[in-house]
Amino acid sequence: MTVAYACGKVILFGEHAVVYGQPAVAVPITQVQAQATVEDAEPGEGITIIAEDLRRTYKLEEAPPDDPLRVTILNTFRRLRLSPKLDLTISITSTIPIARGLGSGAAVSTAIVRALAKHFDKYLASRAVSELVYETEKIYHGTPSGIDNTVIAFEKPIYFIKGSKAEIFWVGRPFLLAVADTGVQSPTKEVVEDVRRGWERERERYERLFEGIGKLAEKGRRAIERGEWEEIGRLMDENHSLLREMSVSSPELDGLVEAARQGGALGAKLSGAGRGGNMIALVTKETCGRVEMMLRMAGAKDVIVTEVR
């Protein structure tokens, strides 16, 4: 039996604008993770997929062509030069909430790729893992930016520009993020398509918003490298304002952002596609408890506090 894991992620700066060539900053969230287990099965059993959290068990050969797990497995076999005529049981579990902007789909795919490579004693570099997972991300998101698969495969803070090499960078001073779940699923594909339609209708306005968000991402990277917490928080607040102008926030997200700020957060914003999912707040050890309390009082379904280092 072989087991592999993959962490979640949050976008600190750059949602939506990253799809249009602007930079984004994302960091791994290690408090939640996906797990994939690969076991040899009896001869003639074929490949069985057990998605425990979805309470589904099915054969690979019976899955539809666009089934994300099927696509991930077959693409990995091709990369590893393995025949799909194998007898395996592949089990997947995850503590990453689905459709909350934490990279659940990319994490599950990454865990599967790692588990298969490990099971057959093959080596795949992080970039190769990222490329494989990106193909599955197209099923989940239509026109993905590529940021989820990159930050999860490398498990480091990254500065990302679509079509360019992702840059891993270092944190000048570790900081704490409170990640609060609205309890509302974020319809990522739908929101991304809505933004595209808006861009097609009002290209000048949206280009201005995208460029503004891109500049915040550039400044955000420098602030993180220098360990300037107050500046990071200020930039997060500005980023949320621009995302609101883009109509990708929601009353639930705005309510949690306000609650975090009232609790003493240095900054707060939505993270991910928006219209649901998660809000992130920059907190300190001194304000962490109060911010978490305020978020739960404001209706957060769950709050994760993670250190970025």
Q: Do residue 162 and residue 175 come from a single domain?
A: no
228 and 290 fall within a common domain? yes
Q: What is the CATH number of the domain that holds 259?
A: 3.30.70.890
Which residues, 6 or more positions from 231, have their beta carbon under 8 angstroms from its beta carbon?
A: 219, 223
Domain match, 189 and 281 both: yes
Does one domain contain both 8 and 121?
A: yes
How many structural domains comprise the chain?
2
- Is the confidence at residue 147, as pLDDT, over 90? no
Is 66 an active-site residue? no
pTM score over 0.85:
yes
Letter string b/e over residues 166-196, b meaning 16 or more CB atoms within 10 A of that residue's CB: beeeebeeebbbbbbbbebebbbeebbebbb
pLDDT at 143: 76
DSSP 8-state class, residue 63: S
Q: What is the CA radius of gyration of the chain?
A: 19
Are residue 135 and residue 191 in the same domain, yes or no?
no
Q: What is the mean pLDDT of residues 266-280?
A: 95
User: Catalytic pick from 40, 66, 148, 237?
Assistant: 148
By DSSP bridging, strand 267-271 and strand 88-94 are unpaired
**Average per-residue pLDDT in the chain?**
95
User: Which domain does 127 fall in, by range?
Assistant: 2-167
One domain, residues 134 and 230: no
Residues 66-91 have pLDDT tens digits of: 999 999 999 999 999 999 899 999 99
27 and 163: one domain? yes
Boundary-marking domain end, from 116, 144, 167: 167
